[in-house]
Amino acid sequence: MRRESLETALFRAGYLVVFAFMLLPLAVVVVTSFGASGQIAFPPAEFSLTWYESFFDQTDWLRAFDNSLLVGLGTAVVATILGVTAAFGQEIDDGLVGRLLAPLVLLPMLIPPVIFGVTLLVYFTEFDLQGSYVSLILAHTLWATPLVYFVMRSVFRRFDWQQLDAAHDLGAGPVRSFVHVVLPNVKHGIFVGALLAFIVSLQEFVMALFLSNHTTETIPVVAWNQLRNSLSPMVSVVSTFLILISLGAILLAAAATNLNWLSKQLS
Protein backbone atom coordinates (compact mmCIF):
# COMPACT_ATOMS: atom_id res chain seq x y z
CA MET A 1 0.00 0.00 0.00
CA ARG A 2 2.85 2.38 0.88
CA ARG A 3 4.58 1.63 -2.42
CA GLU A 4 1.39 2.36 -4.34
CA SER A 5 0.92 5.60 -2.42
CA LEU A 6 4.51 6.63 -3.16
CA GLU A 7 4.11 5.85 -6.87
CA THR A 8 0.87 7.84 -6.96
CA ALA A 9 2.51 10.79 -5.22
CA LEU A 10 5.48 10.72 -7.61
CA PHE A 11 3.17 10.53 -10.61
CA ARG A 12 1.14 13.49 -9.39
CA ALA A 13 4.28 15.48 -8.63
CA GLY A 14 5.69 14.77 -12.08
CA TYR A 15 2.39 15.68 -13.69
CA LEU A 16 2.28 18.98 -11.80
CA VAL A 17 5.87 19.79 -12.83
CA VAL A 18 5.10 19.17 -16.50
CA PHE A 19 1.87 21.13 -16.23
CA ALA A 20 3.63 24.08 -14.57
CA PHE A 21 6.38 24.01 -17.20
CA MET A 22 3.77 24.20 -19.97
CA LEU A 23 2.01 27.13 -18.28
CA LEU A 24 5.23 29.03 -17.58
CA PRO A 25 5.16 30.95 -20.92
CA LEU A 26 1.71 32.27 -20.04
CA ALA A 27 3.02 33.53 -16.72
CA VAL A 28 5.90 35.26 -18.52
CA VAL A 29 3.45 36.99 -20.85
CA VAL A 30 1.33 38.25 -17.95
CA VAL A 31 4.34 39.51 -15.98
CA THR A 32 5.88 41.34 -18.95
CA SER A 33 2.59 43.17 -19.53
CA PHE A 34 3.24 45.13 -16.32
CA GLY A 35 6.63 46.42 -17.46
CA ALA A 36 7.20 50.18 -17.48
CA SER A 37 9.76 50.26 -20.30
CA GLY A 38 9.00 50.31 -24.02
CA GLN A 39 10.47 46.86 -24.61
CA ILE A 40 9.45 43.42 -23.39
CA ALA A 41 11.73 42.35 -20.57
CA PHE A 42 11.48 39.50 -18.07
CA PRO A 43 11.50 40.18 -15.26
CA PRO A 44 10.55 43.85 -15.68
CA ALA A 45 12.90 46.36 -14.11
CA GLU A 46 9.89 48.34 -12.93
CA PHE A 47 6.22 47.43 -12.69
CA SER A 48 3.54 49.76 -14.00
CA LEU A 49 0.00 49.85 -15.44
CA THR A 50 1.09 52.28 -18.15
CA TRP A 51 0.55 49.88 -21.02
CA TYR A 52 -2.90 48.86 -19.79
CA GLU A 53 -3.90 52.51 -19.69
CA SER A 54 -2.42 53.03 -23.16
CA PHE A 55 -4.37 50.08 -24.56
CA PHE A 56 -7.67 51.96 -24.34
CA ASP A 57 -6.20 54.78 -26.43
CA GLN A 58 -5.00 52.49 -29.24
CA THR A 59 -7.56 52.56 -32.05
CA ASP A 60 -6.03 49.67 -33.98
CA TRP A 61 -5.96 47.38 -30.96
CA LEU A 62 -9.52 48.24 -29.92
CA ARG A 63 -10.75 47.60 -33.46
CA ALA A 64 -8.89 44.27 -33.54
CA PHE A 65 -10.42 43.36 -30.19
CA ASP A 66 -13.91 44.09 -31.50
CA ASN A 67 -13.17 42.15 -34.69
CA SER A 68 -11.98 39.11 -32.75
CA LEU A 69 -15.09 39.12 -30.55
CA LEU A 70 -17.40 39.54 -33.55
CA VAL A 71 -15.72 36.79 -35.57
CA GLY A 72 -15.55 34.55 -32.50
CA LEU A 73 -19.24 34.92 -31.75
CA GLY A 74 -20.17 34.36 -35.39
CA THR A 75 -17.96 31.27 -35.52
CA ALA A 76 -19.49 29.93 -32.32
CA VAL A 77 -23.02 30.29 -33.71
CA VAL A 78 -22.32 28.73 -37.13
CA ALA A 79 -20.03 25.95 -35.84
CA THR A 80 -22.49 25.05 -33.09
CA ILE A 81 -25.39 24.75 -35.53
CA LEU A 82 -23.35 22.60 -37.92
CA GLY A 83 -21.74 20.47 -35.21
CA VAL A 84 -24.96 19.81 -33.29
CA THR A 85 -27.04 18.98 -36.35
CA ALA A 86 -24.33 16.70 -37.77
CA ALA A 87 -23.94 14.79 -34.50
CA PHE A 88 -27.70 14.57 -34.00
CA GLY A 89 -28.26 13.36 -37.56
CA GLN A 90 -25.64 10.65 -37.15
CA GLU A 91 -27.27 9.43 -33.94
CA ILE A 92 -30.65 9.26 -35.68
CA ASP A 93 -29.36 7.44 -38.78
CA ASP A 94 -25.97 5.82 -38.28
CA GLY A 95 -25.77 4.24 -41.73
CA LEU A 96 -23.06 4.39 -44.36
CA VAL A 97 -23.27 8.18 -44.64
CA GLY A 98 -23.09 8.46 -40.86
CA ARG A 99 -19.98 6.31 -40.68
CA LEU A 100 -18.29 8.45 -43.32
CA LEU A 101 -19.26 11.67 -41.53
CA ALA A 102 -16.73 11.40 -38.70
CA PRO A 103 -13.59 11.24 -40.90
CA LEU A 104 -14.99 13.97 -43.16
CA VAL A 105 -15.58 16.27 -40.20
CA LEU A 106 -12.08 15.56 -38.90
CA LEU A 107 -10.46 16.32 -42.27
CA PRO A 108 -10.19 20.15 -41.85
CA MET A 109 -8.11 19.67 -38.70
CA LEU A 110 -5.59 17.54 -40.61
CA ILE A 111 -4.94 20.04 -43.40
CA PRO A 112 -2.18 22.62 -42.71
CA PRO A 113 -3.68 26.07 -42.07
CA VAL A 114 -1.37 27.66 -44.67
CA ILE A 115 -2.95 25.53 -47.39
CA PHE A 116 -6.38 26.44 -46.08
CA GLY A 117 -5.46 30.11 -46.04
CA VAL A 118 -4.26 30.18 -49.65
CA THR A 119 -7.16 28.08 -50.90
CA LEU A 120 -9.81 30.11 -49.12
CA LEU A 121 -8.20 33.37 -50.24
CA VAL A 122 -8.59 32.33 -53.88
CA TYR A 123 -12.08 30.96 -53.26
CA PHE A 124 -13.47 33.98 -51.42
CA THR A 125 -11.87 36.38 -53.88
CA GLU A 126 -14.00 34.85 -56.62
CA PHE A 127 -17.11 35.83 -54.64
CA ASP A 128 -15.71 39.24 -53.63
CA LEU A 129 -15.67 38.20 -49.96
CA GLN A 130 -11.94 38.55 -49.30
CA GLY A 131 -11.33 40.71 -46.23
CA SER A 132 -14.93 40.40 -45.00
CA TYR A 133 -16.20 39.15 -41.67
CA VAL A 134 -18.11 36.43 -43.52
CA SER A 135 -14.92 34.94 -44.94
CA LEU A 136 -13.24 34.92 -41.51
CA ILE A 137 -16.25 33.35 -39.80
CA LEU A 138 -16.57 30.63 -42.44
CA ALA A 139 -12.82 29.93 -42.34
CA HIS A 140 -12.75 29.62 -38.57
CA THR A 141 -15.88 27.48 -38.69
CA LEU A 142 -13.93 24.84 -40.62
CA TRP A 143 -11.72 24.33 -37.57
CA ALA A 144 -14.33 24.87 -34.88
CA THR A 145 -17.06 22.58 -36.23
CA PRO A 146 -15.10 19.32 -35.65
CA LEU A 147 -14.64 20.22 -31.99
CA VAL A 148 -18.35 20.90 -31.52
CA TYR A 149 -19.22 17.73 -33.43
CA PHE A 150 -17.08 15.43 -31.29
CA VAL A 151 -18.25 17.10 -28.07
CA MET A 152 -21.86 16.52 -29.10
CA ARG A 153 -21.19 12.92 -30.12
CA SER A 154 -20.00 12.31 -26.56
CA VAL A 155 -23.02 14.14 -25.13
CA PHE A 156 -25.53 12.30 -27.31
CA ARG A 157 -24.07 8.93 -26.32
CA ARG A 158 -25.21 9.61 -22.75
CA PHE A 159 -28.69 10.67 -23.82
CA ASP A 160 -31.63 8.30 -23.30
CA TRP A 161 -33.03 8.01 -26.83
CA GLN A 162 -36.13 6.25 -25.56
CA GLN A 163 -37.36 9.71 -24.54
CA LEU A 164 -37.24 10.80 -28.17
CA ASP A 165 -39.08 7.66 -29.27
CA ALA A 166 -41.75 8.37 -26.66
CA ALA A 167 -42.14 11.92 -27.96
CA HIS A 168 -42.62 10.61 -31.50
CA ASP A 169 -45.17 8.07 -30.27
CA LEU A 170 -47.12 10.91 -28.65
CA GLY A 171 -47.31 12.75 -31.96
CA ALA A 172 -44.48 15.29 -31.65
CA GLY A 173 -42.75 16.19 -34.90
CA PRO A 174 -38.96 16.18 -35.40
CA VAL A 175 -38.47 19.86 -34.55
CA ARG A 176 -40.82 19.87 -31.56
CA SER A 177 -39.39 16.67 -30.12
CA PHE A 178 -35.83 18.01 -30.45
CA VAL A 179 -36.67 21.36 -28.83
CA HIS A 180 -38.73 19.98 -25.95
CA VAL A 181 -37.06 16.60 -25.31
CA VAL A 182 -33.48 16.52 -26.60
CA LEU A 183 -32.39 20.14 -26.19
CA PRO A 184 -33.08 20.47 -22.42
CA ASN A 185 -30.91 17.39 -21.80
CA VAL A 186 -27.95 18.39 -23.97
CA LYS A 187 -27.95 22.19 -23.61
CA HIS A 188 -24.88 22.16 -21.37
CA GLY A 189 -22.93 20.21 -23.97
CA ILE A 190 -24.02 22.66 -26.66
CA PHE A 191 -22.84 25.53 -24.48
CA VAL A 192 -19.44 23.89 -23.99
CA GLY A 193 -19.09 23.25 -27.72
CA ALA A 194 -19.93 26.88 -28.48
CA LEU A 195 -17.30 28.07 -26.00
CA LEU A 196 -14.67 25.83 -27.60
CA ALA A 197 -15.55 27.22 -31.03
CA PHE A 198 -15.25 30.77 -29.68
CA ILE A 199 -11.81 30.09 -28.17
CA VAL A 200 -10.55 28.46 -31.38
CA SER A 201 -11.64 31.48 -33.39
CA LEU A 202 -10.15 33.90 -30.88
CA GLN A 203 -6.63 32.48 -31.20
CA GLU A 204 -6.60 31.45 -34.89
CA PHE A 205 -3.89 33.32 -36.80
CA VAL A 206 -2.85 31.82 -40.12
CA MET A 207 -6.17 31.90 -41.98
CA ALA A 208 -6.98 35.32 -40.48
CA LEU A 209 -3.66 36.61 -41.81
CA PHE A 210 -4.59 35.56 -45.35
CA LEU A 211 -8.23 36.61 -45.28
CA SER A 212 -8.38 39.84 -43.26
CA ASN A 213 -7.67 43.42 -44.30
CA HIS A 214 -6.88 46.55 -42.27
CA THR A 215 -10.51 46.90 -41.15
CA THR A 216 -11.14 43.24 -40.22
CA GLU A 217 -7.78 42.30 -38.68
CA THR A 218 -8.13 40.21 -35.55
CA ILE A 219 -5.92 40.41 -32.47
CA PRO A 220 -3.43 37.69 -33.53
CA VAL A 221 -2.88 39.44 -36.89
CA VAL A 222 -2.31 42.87 -35.31
CA ALA A 223 0.01 41.29 -32.72
CA TRP A 224 2.03 39.67 -35.51
CA ASN A 225 2.38 42.97 -37.34
CA GLN A 226 3.42 44.72 -34.12
CA LEU A 227 6.01 42.08 -33.26
CA ARG A 228 7.59 42.41 -36.70
CA ASN A 229 8.43 46.03 -35.86
CA SER A 230 9.23 45.91 -32.14
CA LEU A 231 8.76 43.87 -28.97
CA SER A 232 6.20 46.17 -27.41
CA PRO A 233 4.64 45.27 -24.03
CA MET A 234 1.30 46.13 -25.64
CA VAL A 235 1.36 42.66 -27.20
CA SER A 236 1.69 41.16 -23.73
CA VAL A 237 -1.22 43.30 -22.51
CA VAL A 238 -3.50 42.09 -25.28
CA SER A 239 -2.29 38.51 -24.80
CA THR A 240 -3.15 38.78 -21.11
CA PHE A 241 -6.68 39.84 -22.03
CA LEU A 242 -6.98 36.81 -24.32
CA ILE A 243 -5.70 34.52 -21.56
CA LEU A 244 -8.29 35.92 -19.16
CA ILE A 245 -11.08 35.48 -21.72
CA SER A 246 -10.00 31.88 -22.37
CA LEU A 247 -9.82 31.11 -18.65
CA GLY A 248 -13.26 32.63 -18.18
CA ALA A 249 -14.63 30.45 -20.97
CA ILE A 250 -13.04 27.35 -19.43
CA LEU A 251 -14.57 28.14 -16.04
CA LEU A 252 -17.97 28.66 -17.64
CA ALA A 253 -17.63 25.33 -19.47
CA ALA A 254 -16.66 23.57 -16.23
CA ALA A 255 -19.61 25.13 -14.44
CA ALA A 256 -22.00 24.19 -17.25
CA THR A 257 -20.93 20.55 -17.22
CA ASN A 258 -21.22 20.17 -13.46
CA LEU A 259 -23.91 22.56 -12.26
CA ASN A 260 -25.15 20.14 -9.60
CA TRP A 261 -21.69 19.95 -8.01
CA LEU A 262 -21.32 23.73 -8.25
CA SER A 263 -24.67 24.35 -6.58
CA LYS A 264 -23.67 22.07 -3.68
CA GLN A 265 -20.38 23.93 -3.24
CA LEU A 266 -22.15 27.30 -3.16
CA SER A 267 -24.93 26.18 -0.84
Burial pattern 198-234, b for ≥16 Cβ within 10 A else e, equals: bbbbbbbebbbbbbbeeebbbbbbbbeebeeeeebbb
Of the given ranges (30-34, 152-156, 165-169, 235-239), which has the lowest mean pLDDT?
165-169
Query: Do 29 and 243 form a contact (C-beta atoms < 8 A)?
Result: yes
39-53 pLDDT per residue, tens: 776 777 777 788 788
Question: Does residue 197 or residue 11 have the better pLDDT?
Answer: 197
Average pLDDT of the segment spanning 173-177: 74
> Is pLDDT above 50 for 174?
yes
Of the given ranges (5-14, 82-91, 128-137, 250-259), which has the lowest mean pLDDT?
250-259
Which pLDDT value is given to residue 189?
A: 84
Cβ-proximal residues to 199 (8 Å cutoff; 6+ apart), any chain: 72, 246, 249
Of the given ranges (75-89, 136-150, 161-175, 199-213), which has the lowest mean pLDDT?
161-175
Which pLDDT value is given to residue 141?
A: 92
Which pLDDT value is given to residue 258?
A: 62
Predicted confidence band at 219 (pLDDT cuts at 50, 70, 90)? confident
Which pLDDT value is given to residue 263?
A: 45
Which pLDDT value is given to residue 157?
A: 82
Ramachandran quadrant class, 202 (left: phi over 0; alpha: psi -120 to 50; beta: rest): alpha
188-203 pLDDT per residue, tens: 888 888 988 998 898 8
Question: Does residue 230 or residue 196 have the better pLDDT?
Answer: 196
Cβ-proximal residues to 249 (8 Å cutoff; 6+ apart), any chain: 195, 198, 199
User: Where do the domains of the chain lie, and which CATH numbers do they carry?
Assistant: 58-266 (1.10.3720.10)
Torsion 128-131-134-136 (CA) sign:
positive
Average pLDDT of the segment spanning 156-168: 75
Which pLDDT value is given to residue 262?
A: 43
